[in-house]
Structure 1
C-alpha cells in the first residue's frame, strides 16, 4: 500500500513584506512581529496604516520593535497541525531577529510533545521581500506539485543565490540601529551620501559602497543587479522591490530594470513597519536570483 503524502502549508513572518492579497490568495499563514509607538504595541490585530507609520517616523517619532511572541507562534503552529497539516515555515534572517529562534524552539517542543507533528523551519537568511521572494519560490513549487521535502531541499540549496541590494534615504536610521557611527551619519547627510548595502551570506546587513545623490544610488542598484544575474537570467521571471513609502522611486527602479535587462514582471510593496523601523522612510530594496549575494 502506498502512503498518501500529507498535505502541508507554508508559513512565514510579517517581515516577508508580501501584499495581503498575495498572502490570502496562496493561503499563507503569517507569524506577526511587533512594533510600538508611545507604549502602544502594533503588529498583530492592531496596525497603523502604512503611510501613517512612515509619517510618524518623518515627524521624528521613532518606533521600537519586538520579535515573534512564542505563545502566538505555538498557537498558530498547533492549530495548523490540529487541522492535519505539516508545516513549512520560512523565517526572517536569524542574525536580524530572534524570530527564527522562537519558531525553531516552538517547532521542536511541539514535535517532541506530539510525534505526529512535522514542522520544518528554514532560516531564510533573508529580509523584507527577499524573504518574500523565497516564500514565492516555495509557493510556485508547491503549486507545481513538489513535496515539502523537495521544496525544503531547494530552499536550502538556493537561498544564498537570493540577492538583496538596497539604499536608504536617511543615514540616521542606520545609525540608530548601530549599522554606522554617529559621525558617519552626520557627515554623510551633509554631503548627500547614499549608502548601498546588501544582505550577506550570514544574513546580516553589510555596506557595499557609497554614492552621491539619490538618482545615482538607484542606478547603482541596477548596475549591481546586472553583474549578479549573469548565468541566472532565466531564474528571474519576476523581480521584487520594496520601498519605505517612496513608490515613485520604486517604479523608476523597475523601469530602469525593464529597459536595461528586459525583465517585465515586478512585485512592488511597502517595507513593513518592523523592518521600516530600522531602515526608515525612503528605503528602496531590490531582490532577485543571482550568482552570489
Structure 2
C-alpha cells in the first residue's frame, strides 16, 4: 500500500498548523546576516527580517540537502513508499535543480520533484491540494499527473511599497524602479508561465493598488469558482482591506488571510506587500 510523503520549501508560506496536522516536511532556506546564519521560519521570522533590511540586505542560500536526506531516510523508517517534493520556481532559486539532482540518486523511495514555477501560496496550493488528493485515496501516479493542472490553475498577484529590494536583488530593472518611486506608482506583479516576475499594471498609491487587486480577483471569479489566499508582508491592515473587498464575491469557495510572506521572500519584496493567490477550481 502506498504512503505518500509531502515535502516543500519554506517559500510556500503554508500555515504552520496545517503543516503539522498533515505531517508535511519543510526545507527552510538559509539566511545570512552579519556572519550569522538562520533557518527561514525556524530561528528567524518576518519581523526580525524587516528590522534587518534598512541596515544590510541579508543573503539567502539553498535549503540543506543534508536535511532533505534526513527527512527521506526518516520517511522510509516511518513506512513511506513515495514522496512528492514541490519547490519554488527555478527562476528564483536553484532549489529545484539541487533537490532533483539529489533525488535522482536516492534509493528507498519513489520520488517526484515538481517545480511550482511560482512562490508563496501559489506554491503552497499545490501541496494543500495534494493533501486533499491523498485523503481522497488517489494514487501517487494520479497525483503526479494532476500537479501540472493545479499549477496552471493557480496565479499570484501582489503589490509592494517599494521597488528597492527587488531592484537590489536583480529582480526588476533599475530604470523601472526609479521611475516608479518618483511617481509613487505601485506595480501589480504576477508570475509568468516561465516562473518569473512580471509587472502587469502600474497604479498610483495604496488605495488604487488594492482596488486593482480586487478588480483582478473579481474578473477571475466571474469566470469560475475559486479559492483565494490573501498575502501579507507585515501589512495586516492592507491585507484585511483586500480580504473584505473579496470575501463576499460570488463563486468564492474560500478566502483566507493565510499567506504571511516568509523571510526568504521578504528579502526581495520588503515590508508592506499585499496581494492574493487564486486557484481556479474546475
The normalised TM-score by structure 2 is 0.92
- 1:257 is matched with 246
Q: What is aligned with 2:11?
A: 15
> Which 5+ residue runs of structure 2 have no aligned equivalent?
none
- The root-mean-square deviation of aligned C-alpha atoms, in Å, is 1.9
Matches within 5 A, 1:1-293: 5-43=1-39, 47-57=43-53, 59-85=54-80, 86-110=82-106, 114=107, 116-233=108-225, 236=226, 238-261=227-250, 263=252, 264-290=254-280
* Number of residue-to-residue matches in the alignment: 279
Q: For the residues of structure 2 that align with 1:105 and 1:81, how far apart are their CA atoms? A: 19
Question: Does the residue aligned with 1:96 lie in a helix, a strand or coil?
Answer: coil
* Structure 2 Cα separation of the partners of residues 284 and 228 of structure 1: 18
Offset at residue 259 of structure 1 (A): 3.6
CA distance 1:276–1:185, shift in 2 (3 Å) = same
Unaligned 5+ segments in structure 1 are none
Q: SS of the residue aligned with 2:91?
A: helix
Deviation at 1:261, TM superposition (A): 4.1
1:172 and 1:182 in contact (8 A); partners too: no
Assess if the C-alpha contact under 8 Å between 1:250 and 1:268 holds in 2: no
Q: Distance in 1 between matches of 2:95 and 2:104?
A: 14
1:105-134 deviation per Cα after TM superposition (whole angstroms, max 9, x unaligned): 111110xxx3x4211111111201111111
2:120 and 2:259 in contact (8 A); partners too: no
In the TM superposition, residue 269 of structure 1 has moved relative to its aligned partner by 3.3
Asked whether the equivalents of residues 133 and 143 of structure 2 are also in contact (C-alpha less than 8 Å), the reply is yes
Structure with the higher fraction of residues in strand conformation = 2
8 Å contact 2:40–2:264 — kept in the other structure? no
1:206 Cα offset (Å): 1.1
Query: 2:251 and 2:279 mapped to 1: Cα distance?
Result: 15
For structure 1, which segment, 156-165 or 77-86, has the greater mean C-alpha deviation from structure 2 after superposition? 77-86
